[in-house]
Structure formats: structure tokens, C-alpha cells
Amino acid sequence: MRDLVVGAIMRNATQANLFSSLGPTAEEICRQVQRILASEEFHAPQRGRNFLEFVVNETLAGRSNFLKAFTIANVVFGREASFDPQNDPVVRIEAGRIRKALERYYLVAGQADEVVITVPKGGYVPHFEYACDTPALNDLENARIAERPDQDHPLQGTPSEALPVGRGLRYGPVAACLLLLLSLASALFAAWGVPGRSPLSAASVPTVTVEIFTESSSTDSSSDIARGLRDDVIGQLAQLHGIVVVADPSAGDRAAAVDYALQGGIQMDGSRLRSVARLVRQVNGAVIWADNFDADLLAQNKLEIQAEVARQIAGAIAQPHGAIFRAEAAMIARPAQKADLDAHACTLAYYSYLQTMTAQNHSAVRECLQQATRRHPDNATSWALMSLVYLDEVRFRYKLGTPSSAQPLALAAAAAQRAASLAPDNPRVLRAVMLVNFFEGDIDKALAAGTAAYAANPNDVEVAGEYGLRLAMSGKWQSGCELISIALDKNAGPKGYYEAGMAMCGLMRGDIQAAEQWSRISDLDGNPVRHLALLAILGAAGKMDEAKLEQDWLRSHAPALMTNIRQEISLRLQRPEDQERFLDGLRAAGVAIDLPLGR
């Protein structure tokens, strides 16, 4: 198949190149595909290689609009016409593997390659760009280093011929890990060695200004889109909690208070449009995030493009786990041990805790939020997050090592009630109310709060994903799993959380293969309940040897869970028939399950 597809790519290369003035030519793209496939450092199975060749070929042939899960599954993976992407994640999983394989290739073997190929999350259309297409960013970074020659650069010691300055700053997800290193290092310089924000002032809510978007042409169309996109970005950011949008930083003394500037530009090539955006820390000029977004004016109208790009930009920089939160978190060391830090520092500490969820981090963030609510009793966000931290002692008690007690749930309910009294329409507050009611067993109130949270801001992927989980676990599997899938497509965090939800979706609809795939990519990371779910899935699949390994792990690391299985499952799955399907998988794996009371 490879020879046929590569031949097709080369033929399409001679037809047209829609990206001629914006990026690599079709011939350059074709040569790069062959270079990647020939490299020993491109770790992908044959069907993954077929996937990459197919999506590149279709894009160069001008058929990117047809790159949907159904098409790829039928053509590349030989699925039947009855293929349902919601029930079979094969395309999504393979796309994730290809993204990782491409990232590894460019970090190990492809550092000097001129053309970068990525498959951005949220779709299957590949993106092509030159490795060093950001001279302005390169100059900015060189200037930043020159100003402080005595400071260690995060990439110091890397041979220039292997990793040119600015390579780590190119746009696109392939350089995500290098961008993160740069943003963390820049944040620490800003916090401890650069005039401007001190560690104490870093705890205040960050401020952002959206600059006027530049245009590559003087057409009325590009001018309209540039103005409209800036307005839409401001509108999206203004809806989010945890940041302040400054419309005119030149007014009064506001210029000194603006922490970040979002800069952008519009480039057009016929009907093709590219929106370029980057987030710059004002105190030192460090670029902490950059990306671009392509669209076709023949496929979408201007208003649709503006709204979609604005939503993606706002989500990437200002949602929890976004660029601003990551950069701000890097500026604050051990916030719970610094009595002078405020509520925003504790918010950052909470989202950092979600990435690791250790007992030590849990205690630290709980203490931080307790101090914040005492010092700022009218801060609804602090109360909502404290509710979730207390609730974690119930739903993640085997991971955190917290004892069985009714007190954490009572404290979580009181904190959520306090948050709701302060900000009843805040989506994050409603999310806390939803979760507390769910684990108290009041499903009607839980789903009512979730519906209100989702209606208040459908673009908040964290809220949407959590609402989807509660819908699914309440027995509304179809609608719930759809929302979970959307949260995954939009890269909602924390890592592995929604993948575990998709594993449950697969188990409940009887797709055991999909359930196992999702469970294994959810990064179990020592979470006993996730190991228990995998054990049930393996039991349903009849994989007894692998099931025994999981059972041995659970008996060694979470013996209390293995003696309390029915209660833990009933806490999460509300319908008796769903509970029994889960327990049937455990029984098939050889786990003895006590009968419920009354039977």
C-alpha cells in the first residue's frame, strides 16, 4: 500500500499547492513524508504509517474536508460501512499515536529538517510548515538572551547545528515540550530575577491585553476578519474566570499592570486563511505560547471562522491547564507554605495538584485554600475549589490514602453551598455543586446543576467534560459519552481523566476492545479505581492472565478497596444494571463479590 499511496502523493504534488505562499510546497511535503517513513526513529506500526500517508495525500489533493473518522476507518483500517466513531475509537487512538511518533521523530532525528508535519488535535487534517518560519520570534529570543548573558538558558549546551535558536519556538504542537521548558524558565526569571512582578504580586489575577491583529494584505476581507477576530477573542476571554482582560492598556497607568499581550496576524492566499497568534509575557518579552489556525473561506463564512478561532485561542491560553495557568504556576514555589500568597496562587496550586494528585500535594493545596477562604471569605472560586479538594478525599481516597469518613463529604457540601451563595451562576461553582450532589446520591440536583453550568458556558471544556461524566455515570450514556469525547478532542485535563471515562463508555455499550484501549491509554498512574476498572474490562474480555496481574496489583496496593468493591462502584455508577455489568466483569476475572443486602 505504501508504494501506491506515496505515488499518489507525488502525483498530487504536481496538481496544486494550496499552501504555496504560506508554507512548504507540495513537493517538499512529499519528500518530508518519505524521509519520516524511512527513519528508524519514527516509531509507528504499519497501519499508523498508512494513516499518515493517507491524510497527507488527501490534503494535498484538496480533499481535507473529507478527512473524518468514518472515511479514515473505511479506507485505511478496512472498517465496514456500519462503523460508528463514537463506539469505536480506533481512528482517534491511531491519530494520538501518530502525533506522539511525529513529536519524537522531530525531537530525536528531525531537528534539522526544514519541513514540519503535525496532525493537530481535534481533527485529522495534517499541518505543514517550515521549521524556522518565525524570524521575529528568533530575534526576540536572541535579544532576551543577550540582555542577560550571565543567566543560564534553558537550552544551553545544545549544539547550534542540532537545535538552532528559535527552533523550539516554531509554531505548532510538535514543539510543545520545548515551549513548556522555555515558558517555565522564563517564568522563574520573571519571578525571582527580573524587575516587574515579584513572587508576591504574581499571586494576583493575571491581566491580558489583546493587541490589534496585523494583516498580510490590504483587502477589505482581511481587514474585517482581523478586526472581528480580535473582538471575538476579547469576548471569549472576558467570559472566563481567573484573568482580567484590559481593553486599552494605554489608559492611565494600566500599561504597567498588564502581564500578558496576545499578538496576532491574518494571512490570506486566495480563499485560504491562516490566523497566527502568540502570547508574550510583557515583563521580559518571552513568548510562552504560539500557534496558528487554518481555515477556508469557501467552506466557512467569516463569522464562523472568527468564532471558532477565537474559541480555540481563548481555550489554549486562559482555560485551566492553559498557557497562562502553566506560566503563572511556574512563578510560585510551594504556595501553601507562603502565608502571604492570595487566592489566585491557591487556584494555580489546585490545577498543579490535579496533574500529580499525591497525598502531599493534596494536603498542601487544602491548607492553601483554607487560608485563602479565611483571608478572602467572599471569593467564590476558592470555596468551589476547596469543595472539590474535600470531595477528592471521598472519590480518590484509595489514591490519596485518606481514611473512610463522612466528614469530607459534609465539608465539601458546606463549601459548595458557600460558593453558590456568592456566585450562583458561575460555571465552576455549579460544577462543584453538581459533583457534591452526585456523590451524595441526589442525581436530579446534580444533573440540574450540571445542565446550568454547561448552559452558562458551553465552551468551558472542563465543565462540559465533567458534566458528560456525570450524565454517563447516571445512565445517560449516549449523551454523556458524546460530551466526554468532545472534551478529549479539545485536550481537556487532567491527563487520563476523560480517557478513563471513555473506557467506561466502551464497557457499558459492550465494546470491550475499545474499553481496554481507552483504559490502557488513560495512564493508570497508581490509581486503584482505574486498575479496578481495567480488571473488570479484562474479565469481560476473558483475558485471565492479564486480569490476574491487575488483581495481584490491587491486592498488594489497595487491599481495602478489594474488600469494599460494591460500595465503591455504587458510589460512581447510579443504575443497578450498570453496577451489575461492571461487577460481572470482575466476577469473570475471578473476583468474589458480596451479594447486596436483602438478597
**What pLDDT does 321 receive?**
65
Q: Are 244 and 324 in contact (CB under 8 A)?
A: no
| pLDDT value at residue 218 | 62
410-422 mean pLDDT: 95
Measured between alpha carbons, how far is 513 from 538 in angstroms, rounded to an integer?
9
- Taking the C-alpha atoms of residue 239 and residue 131, their distance in angstroms, rounded to an integer, is 35
Residue 8 has pLDDT above 60, yes or no: no
Q: Is the pLDDT of residue 25 over 50?
A: yes
Distance in angstroms (rounded) separating the CA atoms of residues 146 and 294: 34
Read off the pLDDT band of 352 (50, 70, 90): confident
Contact 151, 246 (CB under 8 A): no
For residue 50, give every residue at least 6 positions away whose Cβ sits within 8 Å of its Cβ, in sequence order, or none.
1, 2, 5, 76
Q: Which of 19-23, 32-36, 341-345 has the lowest mean pLDDT?
A: 19-23
Q: pLDDT category, 423, cuts 50, 70, 90?
A: very high
Indicate if the pLDDT at residue 545 is higher than 60: yes
Q: What is the pTM for the complete model shown? A: 0.57
Maximum Cα–Cα distance for the chain, whole Å?
A: 77
What percent of the chain is predicted at pLDDT more than 70?
76
Confidence class of residue 331 from pLDDT cuts 50, 70 and 90? low
Answer whether residue 200 shows pLDDT above 70. Answer: no
What mean pLDDT do residues 328-357 have? Answer: 65
Per-residue pLDDT, 217: 66
**Which pLDDT score is estimated for 511?**
93
Q: What is the pLDDT of residues 28-64, one digit of tens each?
A: 999 999 999 999 889 888 888 999 999 998 888 877 8
- For the ranges 26-40, 263-277, 536-550, the lowest mean pLDDT is seen at 263-277
Q: What domains can you pick out in the chain, each with its CATH number?
A: 2-130 (no CATH), 135-316 (3.40.50), 497-599 (1.25.40)
pLDDT tens-place string over residues 246-263: 877 666 544 456 888 999
For residue 383, the Cα-to-chain-centroid distance in whole angstroms is: 24
What are 274's three cell numbers? 491562516
Q: For residue 183, what pLDDT is reported?
A: 38
Among residues 266, 290, 274, which one has the least CA distance to residue 171? 290
Pairing of strands 244-245, 115-118: unpaired
Query: Mean pLDDT, the chain, as a whole number?
Result: 78
